[in-house]
Amino acid sequence: MTKSGFYKLGRLAGGKARKAKWMWSSLTGDETEAIAAEYGVGRDMAAVVRERSRYDADPALQALLDGTCDRLAGVVRNKLHRFEVAMVTDDQPTAYALPGGFVFITRSLTELCECDHDELAFVIAHEMAHVIRRHAINRVLRQTAYAAASMVAPGRGAIAPWLRRVGLEWLERAYSRDQEFEADALGGLLTRAAGFDTDGALRLLERFQRLDRAATAPGLGAYLSTHPPVHERIAKLRNKLAVAETP
């Protein structure tokens, strides 16, 4: 793309989400190209996360996460999606997904899950759902015209300087309530389709609720503050799992 073309696209974006999304779709074309472009953006962002985070060297736990992610990815209908999960060291229990299927989870969150296979499956599936439903890429597109324009050539390192400037804390900012409920619902269905026990999802949320009320899990409040109230998540997920077929 010429410099003048790049400039015109930046002008068209105008810092507005609607125009940024239009620009993105016009550049990526069909679904295959769009998913490939998202992967390129996510790969650039994941490189920044890796350079700024401490990886947790626990081969056994990483193997558990890898195996869980592979089982879940195996039941995703659109095989164009690719997923990988990495564990990082952080005192705050959190997990987040980047466009393209890059999922990061902290050791402290795995400990809150008590390394339970079914509970970890729901955490990972919830983050995968944010990618599948395009919440992750749309959150990026809601940023400035610069951020949108920097994705004209995804996979070439254009997005990394922007993420370094805004900081990794941006990755933990809240999605909308509807997006979180949607991620819970799809995450629950993915865990069921992959052969995990969906009671694990409800068990985890109920534990979060108890710990939050008792204030016995440092940092959990910050993690939960980026999600709808836990009792609402439990009620909606329970209803969804009771009536829905597996995807």
Number of domains into which the chain is organized: 1
By three-state DSSP, how is residue 87 classified?
Answer: strand
Q: Express each pLDDT in 119-170 by its tens digit.
A: 999 999 999 999 999 998 888 877 655 455 555 555 455 677 767 776 666 6
Within a domain: residue 204? no
pLDDT at 161: 74
Residue pLDDT, tens place only, 27-72 = 556 788 888 888 988 888 898 888 888 877 789 999 999 999 999 9
Residue by residue, DSSP assigns 91-153 as SS--EEEETTTEEEEEHHHHHHTTT-HHHHHHHHHHHHHHHHTTHHHHHHHTS-HHHHHGGGS
Average pLDDT over every residue of 111-119? 90
Give a yes or no: residue 30 inside a domain: yes
Q: Specify which residues 95 forms β-bridges with.
A: 105
Residue 84 lies in a domain: yes
Cβ atoms of 49 and 98 within 8 Å: the answer is yes
Beginning with the edge strand found earlier in the chain, give each strand of the sheet holding 102-106 in spatial order.
54-55, 84-89, 102-106, 95-98
- How many whole angstroms separate alpha carbon 196 and alpha carbon 7? 49
Domain-embedded: residue 106: yes
Structural domain includes residue 8 = yes
Mean pLDDT of the chain: 79
Does any domain span residue 179? Answer: no
Which residues, at least 6 apart from 220, have a Cβ–Cβ distance to it below 8 Å? Answer: 93, 112, 208, 211, 212
Residue 243 inside a domain? The answer is no
Q: Report the chain's terminal Cα–Cα distance, integer Å.
A: 40
In a domain, 161, yes or no: yes
Q: Are strands 54-55 and 84-89 parallel, antiparallel or unpaired?
A: antiparallel
Tally of CB atoms within 10 A around 55: 12
93 is in which domain, residue-wise? 3-174
Whole-model pTM over 0.75 = yes
Cβ atoms of residues 133 and 183 within 8 Å: yes
